[in-house]
């Protein structure tokens, strides 16, 4: 082998080694640049469907975004819409659209209604190409999510009372975690938060909420195991009023084994929370996006039992069922107000229809 060949071999070997090492170096640099918060146990990976009695672990994560949370829904949707862009709209186009919407769990009724609106719009405007149709779909989606969805810091009819935000929903959907995230957000904004451990049914629920309360410097009011949840909420409201706190975030139980009892209990909690000196400003129904249409029918029971003012859609990260938002708004008639995009304290965003639709359709 001549000197030139030897040199070439050396260069190739060095380049190969460097290239193979790049991803590792990249990951290592990323890890260094994002140190975990002190005293924060790091969970190995998010476990979306878990509903255990384990005390909470709060993973340190960078804040999630709509686009990252909806990536998997977007992939599902785009795969099914890919064929549309290559043709003039015809019968198969409508079939592909239907499949695409059903594929991200928009649900049968809402998919049909959406396509009906799109059809009449296409006819009215004489839309004859795929681009025009996709643009019209975006508009139809925007119109479907045009409702009011702001969160109320105080009860609208009694603005001087201590505002209470109640969180209701089935076990494991993410109520306690969401309260932790909301508490973290409000505390960061300089508001003083009292948390009420209204899930007195599960012993570990109070410990889990305590972890979150400690994290954001909120005060936790709890009762003994099996205590009447409405008395815990009552105590929390009194304590908050006495201290002049800005808001009470009240956790509740979500066992569905005895639906009638649970619904009666929630109605009572709501009545008590709404009594002087407190006033319910928000009753937020928490829905797990990974359960799709199933979650929707469970949610219906809650919506019928309590005066729900909005929905928190959790676990949108890693769910390919992001289209559920349309079904929730159309079929439950409730605005989605907040979205959970992970297990960390920053993984909660306000629901913004424009960013959501952009992320879902991929811009």
Where on the chain is the footprint of ligand GDP (CB under 6 A)? Answer: 46-48, 50-51, 169, 171-177, 254, 286, 314-315, 317, 340-343, 347
Taking CB under 5 A as the rule, does residue 176 contact Mg ion?
yes
The region of 103-111, 185-193, 198-206, 291-299 touching Mg ion under the rule CB under 5 A is 198-206
206 makes contact, choosing from ligand GDP, Mg ion, none, with CB < 5 to 8 Å by partner type, with: none
Answer with the entry of Mg ion, ligand GDP, none that 274 interacts with (C-beta below 5 to 8 A by kind).
Answer: none
| DSSP calls for 104-136 | TT--HHHHHHHHHHHHHHHHHHT--SHHHHHHH
Q: Tell me which residue of 201, 179, 194 sits closest to 273, measured CA to CA.
A: 194
Among residues 274 and 317, whose Cβ is nearest to ligand GDP?
317
Rounded CA separation 362/272 (Å) = 45
- Whole-angstrom distance, CA of residue 332 vs CA of residue 109: 12
Which among 294, 291, 342 has a CA at the least distance from the CA of 321? 291
CB of 309 to ligand GDP, least distance (A): 18
> In the bound complex, which residue of the shown chain has the CB atom lying closest to Mg ion?
176
CB of 51 to Mg ion, least distance (A): 9
Smallest gap from Cβ 125 to ligand GDP, in A, equals: 38
Alpha-helix residue ranges (DSSP H) falling in 34-171: 66-69, 71-81, 91-103, 108-125, 130-144
Cβ proximity to ligand GDP: between 136 and 299 the closer is 299
Query: Distance from CA of residue 17 to its chain's centroid?
Result: 43
Q: Which does 73 bind (CB under 5 to 8 A by kind): ligand GDP, Mg ion, none?
A: none
Q: Which residue has 């993984």 as its token pair?
A: 347
Nearer to ligand GDP, 81 or 299 (CB): 299
Distance of closest approach, residue 287 Cβ to ligand GDP, in angstroms: 10
Residue 329 vs 343, nearer CB to ligand GDP: 343
110 vs 314 by CB, closer to ligand GDP:
314
Least spacing, CB of residue 176 vs ligand GDP, in Å? 3
Is residue 252 near Mg ion by the rule CB under 5 A? Answer: no
SS3 63: coil
Closest CA to 252 of 186, 326, 325, 302: 302
Rounded least distance, CB 332 to ligand GDP, Å: 18
Residue 303 CB, nearest distance to ligand GDP (Å)? 16
Q: φ, ψ for residue 62 (rounded to 5)?
A: -80, 155
| Smallest distance from Mg ion to CB 167, Å | 9
The entry of Mg ion, ligand GDP, none near residue 317 (CB within 5 to 8 angstroms by kind) is ligand GDP
Q: What is the dihedral of CA 120, 116, 356, 363, to 10 degrees?
A: -50
Token pair 């990249």 is at which residue?
26
- By beta-carbon proximity to ligand GDP, the closer residue of 272 and 286 is 286
- Residue 222 binds Mg ion, judged by CB under 5 A: no
Nearest CA to 131 out of 89, 173, 74 is that of 89
SS3 sequence of 333-363:
CCCEEEEECCCCCCCEEECCHHHHHHHHHCC
Residue 247 token pair = 């808001």
Q: Which residue, 116 or 214, is less far from ligand GDP as judged by CB?
A: 214
| 344: nearest Cα among 63, 65, 48, 38 | 63
Please report, as ranges, the residues that interact with Mg ion according to CB under 5 A: 175-176, 205
């Amino acid at each position: 082998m001549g000197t030139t060949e030897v040199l070439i071999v050396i260069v190739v070997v060095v380049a190969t080694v460097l290239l193979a090492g790049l991803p590792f170096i990249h990951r290592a640099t990323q890890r260094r640049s994002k140190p975990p918060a002190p005293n924060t146990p790091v969970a190995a990976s998010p476990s979306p469907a878990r509903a255990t009695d384990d005390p909470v672990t709060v993973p340190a994560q960078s804040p999630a975004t709509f686009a990252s949370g909806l990536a998997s829904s977007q992939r599902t949707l785009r795969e099914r819409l890919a064929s549309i862009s290559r043709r003039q709209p015809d019968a198969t186009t409508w079939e592909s659209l239907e499949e695409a919407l059903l594929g991200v769990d928009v649900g049968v009724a809402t998919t049909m209604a959406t396509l009906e609106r799109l059809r009449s719009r296409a006819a009215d405007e004489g839309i004859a190409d795929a681009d025009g149709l996709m643009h019209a779909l975006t508009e139809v989606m925007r119109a479907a999510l045009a409702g009011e969805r702001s969160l109320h810091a105080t009860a609208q009819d009694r603005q001087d009372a201590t505002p209470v935000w109640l969180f209701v929903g089935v076990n494991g959907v993410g109520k306690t975690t969401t309260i932790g995230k909301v508490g973290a957000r409000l505390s960061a904004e300089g508001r003083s938060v009292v948390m009420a451990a209204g899930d007195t049914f599960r012993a570990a629920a109070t410990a889990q909420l305590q972890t979150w309360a400690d994290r954001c410097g909120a005060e936790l009011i709890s009762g003994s195991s099996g205590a009447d949840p409405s008395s815990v909420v009552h105590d929390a409201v009194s304590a908050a009023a006495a201290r002049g706190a800005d808001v009470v975030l009240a956790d509740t139980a979500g066992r569905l084994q005895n639906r009638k009892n649970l619904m009666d209990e929630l109605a009572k909690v709501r009545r008590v929370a709404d009594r002087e000196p407190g006033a319910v400003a928000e009753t937020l129904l928490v829905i797990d996006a990974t359960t799709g249409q199933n979650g929707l029918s469970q949610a219906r029971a809650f919506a019928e039992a309590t005066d729900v003012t909005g929905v928190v859609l959790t676990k949108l990260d890693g769910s390919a069922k992001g289209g559920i938002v349309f079904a929730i708004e159309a079929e439950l008639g409730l605005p989605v107000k907040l979205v959970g995009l992970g297990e960390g304290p920053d993984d909660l965003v306000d629901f913004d229809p424009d960013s959501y639709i952009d992320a879902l359709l991929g811009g």
